[in-house]
Amino acid sequence: MAFALSTMQLESSAFAAEGAIPTKYTGEGEDISPALSWQGAPEGTKGFAVICHDPDAPLVQNGSYGFVHWVLYNLPASTTTLDENSGQGAAGLNDMGKKGYGGPMPPEGHGVHRYYFWVLALDKATDLPEGLSLPELLKQIEPHLLGMNRLVGTYQRD
């Protein structure tokens, strides 16, 4: 997948870019997804997908993008925000083996990890079944990718 950034802007009211993700949104807290919002989608956008992964995870498998914490798709073009603990869209399978969001929880003593939250703009609306893994989702949407951008947050276990 080509990870070329677009001019879309992605932000969260929960944490600043490159800032610490509050414990509330981690496996040590309430383990709920943070609020996200974006603007500047490319012309012709008909849908969105959202992904969160940790490229610093020690369990990264060959050919993967890191430990996948969230796969969300089937978001219509009218979506520009996700509330905290959002139930919007279709939940994909994370690397914890569950559907939906699974917050940061790096191994103890492993230091600071970076968590990449991505929003992907698509040139077609999707109606894909729930439970797709990240590779399965990317296979379906990559030909329809118009633009993307990311928000990076950090987390370290105490």
The closest alpha carbon to 33, from 54, 51, 60, belongs to: 51
pLDDT for residue 63: 57
Along the chain (158 residues), what's the average pLDDT of each consecutive run of 10 residues? Answer: 74 98 97 98 96 82 76 97 96 95 91 95 96 95 94 93
pLDDT in tens, 105-134: 988 888 999 999 999 999 999 999 999 999
- Please answer whether residues 56 and 113 qualify as being in contact, where contact means their C-beta atoms are separated by less than 8 angstroms: yes
Query: What pLDDT score was predicted for residue 4?
Result: 63
- Provide the pLDDT for residue 14: 97
What's the pLDDT tens digit per position in 27-42? 999 999 999 999 999 9
Among 118, 115, 123, CA closest to 148? 118
| Among 1, 4, 15, CA closest to 151 | 15
